[in-house]
């Protein structure tokens, strides 16, 4: 699964140390939210990405996790396009 409409920093092939650090923070925060949840709901969009991952919204206790991660600075809005990676690299790495 992939959370719809957000992009988090890479932990697999980060472009800089800051991206790796933020990626680990985002992963830890997601795990914390799931561990403390009273109710978890996965809303499937019916779509998949190029890696065949289901595109979903994840709601924890009625709140969209993507919105929570963006509000906490651990994710940015996903914007597809040929140069979108440059914007994300600039956001996480500062260049």
Q: Residue 31 in contact with residue 37, Cβ under 8 Å?
A: no
Contacts of residue 43, defined as CB under 8 A and 6 or more positions apart, other chains included, come to 56, 57, 58, 59
Structure tokens at 37: 């949840």
Residue numbers annotated as active site: 2, 10, 53
């Amino acid at each position: 699964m992939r959370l719809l409409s957000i992009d988090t920093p890479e932990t697999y092939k980060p472009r800089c140390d800051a991206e790796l650090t933020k990626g680990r923070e985002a992963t830890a925060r997601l795990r914390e939210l799931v561990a403390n949840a009273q109710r978890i709901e996965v809303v499937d969009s019916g779509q998949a990405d190029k890696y065949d991952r289901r595109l979903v919204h994840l709601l924890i206790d009625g709140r969209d996790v993507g919105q929570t991660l963006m509000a906490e600075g651990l994710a940015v809005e996903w914007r597809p396009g040929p140069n979108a990676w440059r914007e994300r690299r600039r956001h996480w790495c500062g260049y």
